[in-house]
Amino acid sequence: MLPGTRPDSCEDTADVELPHPPFRATSRRSVRLFAAFRKEQTDPDFFYGLLARDTAAQLAGYADLPGALVADVGGGPGYFTEALRAYGARTLCVDCDAGEMMARDGAVPEGAILGSALDIPLRDGSVDVCFSSNVLEHVPDPWRMAGEMLRVTRPGGVVYLSFTNWLSPWGGHETSPWHYLGGHRAARRYERRYGRRPKNVYGESLYPVSVAGALRWARSRTDAAVLAARPRYHPEWATGVVRLPGVREIVTWNLLIVLRRR
């Protein structure tokens, strides 16, 4: 039984407290997430904690998390692994940057593994769920990373892959919206204004990934079935935007693709 569902019983269950509320992609949820995003830099624990809990609830709609082995690729300080453990999952936090892993409280997350998303240090088919949030746009070969996520997932397992597409309003990350005039130009402008290079440097740690490219990749895979392709933060009624070429590159903001490994 998936978390958030009520037990099948003839008894009155109206007063049963659910361990986790069921995920609902409502307009109120979207407003709450976008409002919290304003605190990403000033209060990362608040923003990433909220986002991680929301994401775990969303993932629970696609995968049975209790007891599942979940790899969090590019998990950094472990916000998502912590939220997934609250759903009963066993987690592995894979990241190539030990400093990033310790950024939260000076200690690496439980189940941490130092390794690259381009060569995930896990055996073929070794995890039930492979998860990644906003990492794909930070690697020079995004489809190699995506392929690696499929490789380490067992047949029947789930891949949850989310990224910020380049032409979204936040595609340039802290250099936005000037990335619309070019990634290198946006980075130079940021450096002139703040006297330091941006954390996410175009061509070094930030790369342009499109919604169209992601959909082509997902649909071309013979080893996986697409369960969902949707704007991650938008309400349910906005899902259809991913079917609108051009418009989707700006409006989607962040694309979520969920696949089941064949």
User: In terms of Cα–Cα distance, which of 262, 250, 241, 231 is closest to 58?
Assistant: 231
The rounded mean pLDDT for the chain is 91
For the cut 80, the answer to whether the pLDDT of residue 211 exceeds it is yes
pLDDT in tens, 94-121: 999 988 888 887 788 888 999 999 999 9
Maximum pairwise Cα distance, the chain: 67
Domain boundaries, the chain: 27-165+209-261, 167-205
* Predicted local confidence at residue 6, as pLDDT: 32
Q: Which residue has the higher pLDDT, 103 or 129?
A: 129
Q: Which two tokens stand for residue 214?
A: 């992601």
Q: Using a pLDDT cut of 70, give the percent of the chain over it.
A: 93
H runs (alpha helix) in 43-171: 44-59, 79-85, 98-101, 142-151
Superfamily of domain covering 27-165+209-261: Vaccinia Virus protein VP39 (3.40.50.150)
Question: What is the gyration radius of the CA atoms in the chain, in angstroms?
Answer: 18
Mean pLDDT of 139-149: 98
Residue whose entry in the numeric block shows the structure tokens 């979207």: 30
Dist CA 9 CA 24 (whole Å)? 24
For the cut 60, the answer to whether the pLDDT of residue 5 exceeds it is no
For the cut 60, the answer to whether the pLDDT of residue 65 exceeds it is yes
Q: Is 122 helix (H, G, I), strand (E, B) or coil?
A: coil
* Predicted local confidence at residue 157, as pLDDT: 98
Mean pLDDT of 210-232: 98
Mean pLDDT of 155-183: 97
pLDDT in tens, 177-205: 999 999 999 999 999 999 999 999 999 99
Dist CA 38 CA 158 (whole Å)? 31
| Sign of the torsion formed by the C-alpha atoms of 57, 85, 113 and 64 | negative
